[in-house]
Structure 1
Amino acid sequence: MVRATPLPAEERRAAIIQATEPLLARHGTSISTRQIAEAAGVAEGTIFRVFPNKETLICEVIEHITDERHAVQAFAAINPDLDLEQRLCIVAEVLQARLREVMAVFHAVGWGPKHEGAPEDWRRRQEESHRILSRAIVTVIEPDQDQLRLPAAEVANLLRALVFSATHPRLSEGIQTEPKAIVQLLLHGACRPPIEPIDPATSSKDA
């Protein structure tokens, strides 16, 4: 096996976490440190110089994928010159991708925020993380508050609810809803715009 170029400690930790995530999604907690080492391009002993055991590594992978700072950074990078629908499509795309990532790992390990194995301090951190995420979405929406019938915070919550229900496999029944469709439903509803009736008088004059 070709060994990776030595990395600084924090970069090595991040690289191991990144290599472990897809393995965890595919194999659950049965993954071996040998598999992780091969995926990360490091010696197996390197893992134990960074993490005390495999269980700690798995917990750090879960913390990484549920860390909403990644999404917040993506929202902050959205071009403010885009119109509201375009900006919200980017938000929905980021939310949907991260939700699928989280669900894949949680399904594989049989563990999630409401599981009895989830530490209480982890739940508290997640609640605060969700509040930060909501505020970041509100910041994306607020420049167009004058176009909305609801406060930006409510629109943000509705968007998150729609993304969740349209992405969760049990709720969506396998139907793949694209971010654009989710946003258009939020902003315009499910009905087509009404067709304006033709005024016979106007029509005859035009003729």
Structure 2
Amino acid sequence: MTDTDTSLEPPAEAAGSGRSGRAAPLPPDERRAAILRAVRPVLLERGVAATTRELAEAAGVAEGTLFRVFSDKLTLIAQAAFVAADPADAVPELDAIPRSLALRDRLVAVMEIGLARIETTMRWFGILHELGRIDPRPEAEREAAGRDGWAQWMQRQTEGEAEVRAAVDRVFGPDPGLRVSRDRAFELFNVLLLGTTMRVIDARRRGTEVEPVDPSELVALFLDGVARRT
């Protein structure tokens, strides 16, 4: 495998443009982001057991390229997990929901995205926990890095949640006809989303399974309630 990363670089100039040869490589930050996104599937499947060769193949680069961008495999995995677990990673999906749909259908799409995101995020947390167990650094160094990492994590989580909140607000649209404030509606929607997820997580901890709730049922509960109308 060569060090040429055709999947992470822009196409070469078309013939006749006066330029030829290899395409210019991506800027460092863009290449780093592209690698972190490309390795997600293999990490979700293999966790920390993924080899550098598997990660390089997933990213379409040589193993040497990985170590010019990341100091080691554990650093690459940790950064990939932190980025993937960023709430704002869901914003493009939320913005892609067609505004031509009825409000109920738009909210079903939001609920489906939210449930899938939480499920995947829990898997990333599991990978981060596994990384912490095998971190070869001295304990004091691990604790110091953990404190710094946690502060950055919490700041990014707060920022990401605000971006998600704004995206969901765009899904609601300018005049959704709510009988409560938008902030209250968002909180109630979040209660249903997180409560449903915690129900599944708690069952797994006890070694049992629960029947998943249909997102359309949750949205019906959110919009209509469960009491009969008189």
Scaled to the shorter chain, the TM-score interval is 0.7 to 0.9
Structure 2 Cα separation of the partners of residues 110 and 178 of structure 1: 30
Within-5 A mapping of 1:1-207: 5=6, 7=9, 8-9=25-26, 12-110=31-129, 117=146, 118-145=149-176, 147-168=177-198, 169-171=200-202, 173-191=209-227, 193=228
Q: Which residue of 1 aligns with 2:136?
A: none
Pick closer, same or farther for the CA change 1:49–1:107 going to 2, 3 Å.
Answer: same
Pick closer, same or farther for the CA change 1:30–1:125 going to 2, 3 Å.
Answer: same
Pick closer, same or farther for the CA change 1:11–1:98 going to 2, 3 Å.
Answer: same
> Which stretch shifts more, 24-33 or 88-97?
24-33
For structure 1, the 5+ residue unaligned runs are: 197-207
TM-score w.r.t. length of structure 2:
0.69
Q: How far did 1:186 drift? A: 0.9
Structure 2 Cα separation of the partners of residues 11 and 129 of structure 1: 20
Q: CA RMSD in A?
A: 2.9
2:111 and 2:215 in contact (8 A); partners too = yes
Structure 2 Cα separation of the partners of residues 30 and 119 of structure 1: 24
For structure 2, the 5+ residue unaligned runs are: 10-24, 131-142, 204-208
Q: How far did 1:35 drift? A: 2.3
Q: How far did 1:94 drift? A: 1.7
After TM superposition, what 4+ stretches of structure 1 lie above 4 angstroms from structure 2? 1-4
Structure 2 Cα separation of the partners of residues 106 and 66 of structure 1: 8
Q: Which residue of 2 aligns with 1:201?
A: none
TM-score w.r.t. length of structure 1:
0.75
Pick closer, same or farther for the CA change 1:121–1:149 going to 2, 3 Å.
Answer: same
SS in 2 for 1:80: coil
Structure 1 Cα separation of the partners of residues 165 and 41 of structure 2: 27
Q: How far did 1:180 drift? A: 1.5
Pick closer, same or farther for the CA change 1:40–1:165 going to 2, 3 Å.
Answer: same
Q: How far did 1:123 drift? A: 0.7
Percent identity at matched positions?
A: 37
CA deviations over 1:157-191 (Å, ceiling 9, x no partner): 22122122223432465332232122111111235
Rg comparison, structure with higher value: 1
